[in-house]
Amino acid sequence: AQTVTQSQPEMSVQEAETVTLSCTYDTSENNYYLFWYKQPPSRQMILVIRQEAYKQQNATENRFSVNFQKAAKSFSLKISDSQLGDTAMYFCAFRGRNTDKLIFGTGTRLQVFP
Amino acid sequence: EAQVTQNPRYLITVTGKKLTVTCSQNMNHEYMSWYRQDPGLGLRQIYYSMNVEVTDKGDVPEGYKVSRKEKRNFPLILESPSPNQTSLYFCASSKLAGDSGANVLTFGAGSRLTVL
């Protein structure tokens, strides 16, 4: 069975600095999708970034980028130039290539300080 | 606006009093799913549906029921709520994975349920 592990329950960063959130996963599949979701205090689940396992290039979305290491089954999220609005819970998630179920990690609570 | 709508957003109830959390999507998605979110546990799937009249258990289905009589609606039913069902609930929908795999789950705003 696939699992997703986020080993950092909480992290903090100063505004304008860079922070990296870690995520590892376990799967026997070769093709799959990985996601990072942001959950601000409003509780809304917001898709931050998505990576397709068959693409070697790391995905980027503005200040958000990932470091996807397929062999190591690692999928970290880097937030550059952190902003106060980045304060949120961040969830890493996995989905198999031909399945619909999203498997989540336990989340990392990020606090951005002024 | 494409969205998933859940109601109620907040509910406090007592043990044993049946309740239903409604979920509706306007994107003509085949796949719908319910998750519960608990501190330290992330989001765990309760039930899912791949189309009308097709539902199946997720990882934590005990104490819950669902139905899918129409494509747009996927209500979550707690027949006899207990305090361990106090949680934050999310409904989500997407197109089926199929061959493209390009589907992305769209989430509702969440429903905070407290069972006393």
Beta strand pairing call for A64-69 and A74-79:
antiparallel
Give the contacts of B101 (CB within 8 A, at least 6 positions apart): A31, A33, A52, A97, A98
Q: Are A77 and A20 in contact (CB under 8 A)?
A: yes
B59: DSSP letter: S
Give the end-to-end CA distance of chain B in Å, rounded to a whole number: 36
Distance of CA A25 to the CA centre of its chain: 11
Q: Are A78 and A89 in contact (CB under 8 A)?
A: no
Q: What is the pLDDT of residue A64?
A: 98
Give the least confident one: A93-102, B13-22, B49-58.
A93-102
Chain A nearest-CA residue for B32:
A100
- Give chain B positions within 8 Å (CB) of A96: 97
pLDDT at B100 over 60: no
pLDDT above 70 as % of chain B: 96
Contact B50 A45 (CB under 8 A): no
For chain A (114 residues), the mean pLDDT of every run of 10, in chain order, is: 93 97 95 95 94 91 96 97 97 89 95 96
Question: What is the tens place of the pLDDT at every residue in A74-106?
Answer: 999 999 999 999 999 999 999 988 788 899 999
Q: Are A46 and A40 in contact (CB under 8 A)?
A: yes
Contact A106 B90 (CB under 8 A): no
Contact B40 A106 (CB under 8 A): yes
Name the more confident of A7 and B97.
A7
b/e A70-99 (16+ beta carbons within 10 angstroms → b): eeebebbbbbeebeeebbbbbbbbbbbeeb
Q: What is the pLDDT of residue A100?
A: 85
pLDDT at B102 over 70: no
Q: What is the pLDDT of residue B101?
A: 53
Confidence of residue B99 (pLDDT cuts 50, 70, 90): very low
Contact B42 A43 (CB under 8 A): no
Q: What is the residue whose two structure tokens read 């100063």?
A: A14
Q: E strand or H helix at A111, and its extent?
A: strand A108-113
Q: What is the pLDDT of residue B104?
A: 85
To the nearest 10°, report the CA torsion of B38, B41, B42, B46. Answer: -70
Identify which of B48, B98, B112 has the shortest CB distance to residue A101: B48
Give the contacts of A107 (CB within 8 A, at least 6 positions apart): A6, A9, A39, A89, A90, A91, B42
